[in-house]
Structure 1
Amino acid sequence: MTADAVILGIAYLTVQLFANKLISSSAIGTFQWISFSGGVAVSYVFVYILPSLHREQENFPQDSLFTMESELYVLGLFGLLIFYGVHNAAERAERLHKEREGRFFWIQIAFFGIYNMLISYIVFASGLEGIKAIFYGVAVGLHFMAVSHDMWREDSERYERGGRYVLASGIIAGWIAGVLLPLPPYVLAIIYAFISGAMIFVVLKKELPEEENTHFPTFLLGSLGHTAVTLALKFFFDW
């Protein structure tokens, strides 16, 4: 295990376990944190995830009888639909069955635990080092922070009592699996496609701040700043 992987893993766990304390104790306001994170996330989707998904599709084996030249995009769609379905069921349960609110909160937590595991697996199985490790560390770390804060706002008591530990366990499981259980490139591409679709939904639904919670200059700073850094890294390091 490289030093970069250890630092990334510790950073992700720290963010996941203490995200709300980090946000509330920061000199930067909560709205600014949410807006900056949302800006980075939107940039990450359009400037990194979608081009990477396109590249993975181009390199995906095309020698089967069922070749569609869009398999990974379909898997990405499935990822988005599954997470949207879970979120929609949880929202409906909260509106219609108040007594079942806790049950659906834990279903969401379980799904996000799997979500964290798959993201962590992709990061650590890819063997990131140096500049790429820093790039992923910032973008994915802010994403984990935003999701944690959103789940905390839904049910702070349950989240603090056990939810954050489930999400952190997902990171640990993905970290260990990524280091010890490498998979063939085409399987990694399949996992990446599925989790990319889920991430697109999560970013658009949970990270884009609502109008009353938006600090637009900070949102713009996060979005344009992350885009500029990503394009510069692609230009100088041929990502």
Structure 2
Amino acid sequence: MAESQIIISTLIVSLVFVGIHLGSTKIYGFSEHYKKKILSFSGGIASAYVFLDLLPLIQRADPHLHAVLGNNPFIMVFLEKAIFGVAFIGFLVFFILEYLAVKSRYNNAHRTTKTLKETNASRNVFYVHLGLIALVSMIICYSLRFEILTTGLGVTIYTIALSLHFFISDRSMEEHYGKFYVKYGRYLLAFMPLIGWSLSVLFPEGESEAYILLAFVAGAVLFNVIKDELPRLGTGKPLFFFIGSLLYSGLILILPWIH
């Protein structure tokens, strides 16, 4: 694929992500009935994406991690687990952020005697949480060039999966931070895909760096799948979850035949 085609393709995908960040609050403004179906369908696709796309991808990354870390004997001992360690760091970072957000909401609710649903987390937690989600959004778009070069047509279904992930992640931010996110946060997040795309044009990532960055993203997405994107007991719509997961799984499995 020509360089100009790659730049245009990655820009289009980045603009899709910009639209998701800007419009997620409105998209989620459907009736309660449709919210459950949308969340369950998104959860199915995101789950299939993690297990059939991201995890197999980072499993192939050990040689590239070795290229970055070199032949340090201490590091070599842990090399086989190192790339999954990067993914686990991403998982832990977002686990801690979620814990801090929920704890802050509980503390504020107790202090103001309001219900948890009426209470937002503190601004300090919001700034940290928003900053790290913005970083992940930027990394994803910075790595788009690598995704297009390695998957080709697969970037279309990759875009679908990540768009739904962003939608669910943004919904969680609105739930935790309310007006802080709606008035300020979503605009910063909408700006990050363009920053990531610009950096990829100015400073194209190497293959080794792309694998490592995507391993961190895999951990972050995996946490969101476990925490938020699987339908909650009594509130999810299992049929739509299965439809989403089977649809995305089918696309992943037939993609090699298309190529």
TM-score, normalised to structure 2, is 0.82
- 1:35-184 alignment runs, 5 A limit: 35-61=40-66, 64=71, 65=73, 66-67=75-76, 68-98=79-109, 101-128=122-149, 131-184=153-206
Once the 2 structures are TM-superposed, how far is the Cα of residue 222 of structure 1 from its aligned partner?
0.1
Q: Sequence identity of aligned pairs in percent?
A: 26
Q: Contact conserved, 1:4 with 1:133, CA < 8 A, in 2?
A: no
1:202 equivalent in alignment to 2:224:
yes
Q: Contact conserved, 2:21 with 2:167, CA < 8 A, in 1?
A: yes
CA distance in 1, matches of 2:168, 2:200: 23
Q: Contact conserved, 1:39 with 1:222, CA < 8 A, in 2?
A: yes
**Structure whose CA Rg is larger:** 2
Q: Which residue of 2 aligns with 1:216?
A: 238
Q: Which residue of 2 aligns with 1:229?
A: 251
CA distance in 2, matches of 1:195, 1:151: 17
Once the 2 structures are TM-superposed, how far is the Cα of residue 54 of structure 1 from its aligned partner?
0.8
Once the 2 structures are TM-superposed, how far is the Cα of residue 217 of structure 1 from its aligned partner?
0.5
Q: Which residue of 2 aligns with 1:8?
A: 13
Once the 2 structures are TM-superposed, how far is the Cα of residue 189 of structure 1 from its aligned partner?
1.6
CA distance in 2, matches of 1:96, 1:156: 16
SS at match of 1:213: coil
Name the aligned partner's letter for residue 71 of structure 1. Answer: A
1:32 equivalent in alignment to 2:37:
yes
Once the 2 structures are TM-superposed, how far is the Cα of residue 127 of structure 1 from its aligned partner?
4.0
CA distance in 1, matches of 2:204, 2:107: 44
Once the 2 structures are TM-superposed, how far is the Cα of residue 116 of structure 1 from its aligned partner?
0.9
Q: Contact conserved, 2:65 with 2:212, CA < 8 A, in 1?
A: no
TM-score, normalised to structure 1, is 0.89
Once the 2 structures are TM-superposed, how far is the Cα of residue 164 of structure 1 from its aligned partner?
0.3
CA distance in 2, matches of 1:221, 1:20: 24
CA distance in 1, matches of 2:254, 2:105: 44
The count of aligned residue pairs is 236
Q: Contact conserved, 1:125 with 1:178, CA < 8 A, in 2?
A: no
CA distance in 1, matches of 2:30, 2:12: 23
Name the aligned partner's letter for residue 26 of structure 2. Answer: K
Once the 2 structures are TM-superposed, how far is the Cα of residue 180 of structure 1 from its aligned partner?
1.8
Change (3 A) 1:223 1:130: same
Unaligned runs of 5+ in 2: 112-120
Change (3 A) 1:56 1:145: same
Unaligned runs of 5+ in 1: none
Name the aligned partner's letter for residue 20 of structure 1. Answer: T
Which deviates more from structure 2 when the two are superposed, residues 44-53 or residues 63-72? 63-72
Change (3 A) 1:117 1:212: same
Once the 2 structures are TM-superposed, how far is the Cα of residue 60 of structure 1 from its aligned partner?
4.0
